[in-house]
Amino acid sequence: MTFSLNLQDTLDQIAHEADALYGQGKVASYIPALAQVAPRQFGMAVAMTDGTCVKTGSADTAFSIQSISKLFTFVLALKLVGDDLWKRLGREPSGAAFNSMVQLESEKGIPRNPFINAGALVVTDILTTRYAHLDIALLGALRRLSDAPELNWDAQTAKSERDTAHRNMAMAYFMKSYGNFVNPPELVLDNYCRQCAIEMSCTQLTQATMFLANNGQDIDRLAHAGEQFLSADAARRVNALLLTCGAYDAAGDLAYRIGLPVKTGVGGGIVAIVPGVGTVAVWGPELDAKGNSVLGVFALERLVQLTGWNHL
């Protein structure tokens, strides 16, 4: 209990310090629905493997998880097809923007990793083949992991994203020309935009990703035990990919500054994994030039400095 109180003080201190950073980034504007989000918001939650959850600010405010959804679809695909996944995807950092098409031609339609847009589209294509209603399957998994049966995706955000998904559609057809796309790109894009439009809070994200901090085992907040959602070895490998590829072309910088596996999203959310300890989720809609939350990156770096939760 003493530790939890100290952690509460730490989160409140970080939230206070983060106030000085408002205005240093900009809300994502290339998706019209995201451009309407009020910029001066910040939330942070930490969930421990013992079931404790500590939070500050707008930690219970739901936001569009956007590319954080790529983590969950990747895990579902890994559970479904195993190592066959790597016949269609790479495992290397891209060093390019999340929506870049540059590498696809030289690498014959094989995306560098599952967390850039091209890679996430291939993952969604794999899941579209398996699930007649991928949105229902994904929401079902997230509701179970987060203990939040009310989770859903926002129709307005999904439509806004789908209406402006020209580059993603181009990537899908380009990969189809190399034989690395099975389903109609239009159908896959519908599923992709719905998954990106799922809304979750920081608190819910910490619970939903707990299996990655707990050797693949989910933790039910009431029973303090849950299903073996992923093998311990697979969870370790997912965390390795998050460390090297989870933050777009800023993955190296965040690994240097934070030293934890992370997945970021242009909705302003970031989820971080502290293996054996717990999970962290932060949200601040204002983004830096790489598409990552300004306040979120700062908060995670400060948390590591103040707690020593850096396993590198």
Catalytic center residues: 67, 70, 192, 248, 266
Going from the C-alpha of 40 to that of each of 234, 284, 285, 292, the distances in angstroms are 37, 7, 7, 15
Contact 281, 203 (CB under 8 A): yes
Alpha-carbon span 262 to 296, nearest angstrom: 11
Q: Which amino acid is at 97?
A: A
Ranges assigned E (strand) in the chain = 26-27, 43-48, 53-57, 63-64, 152-153, 198-200, 262-264, 269-274, 278-283, 286-287
Residue whose pair of structure tokens reads 């933050």 in the numeric block: 247
Contact 260, 56 (CB under 8 A): no
Q: Supply the Cα-derived Rg of the chain in whole angstroms.
A: 18
Contact 269, 66 (CB under 8 A): yes
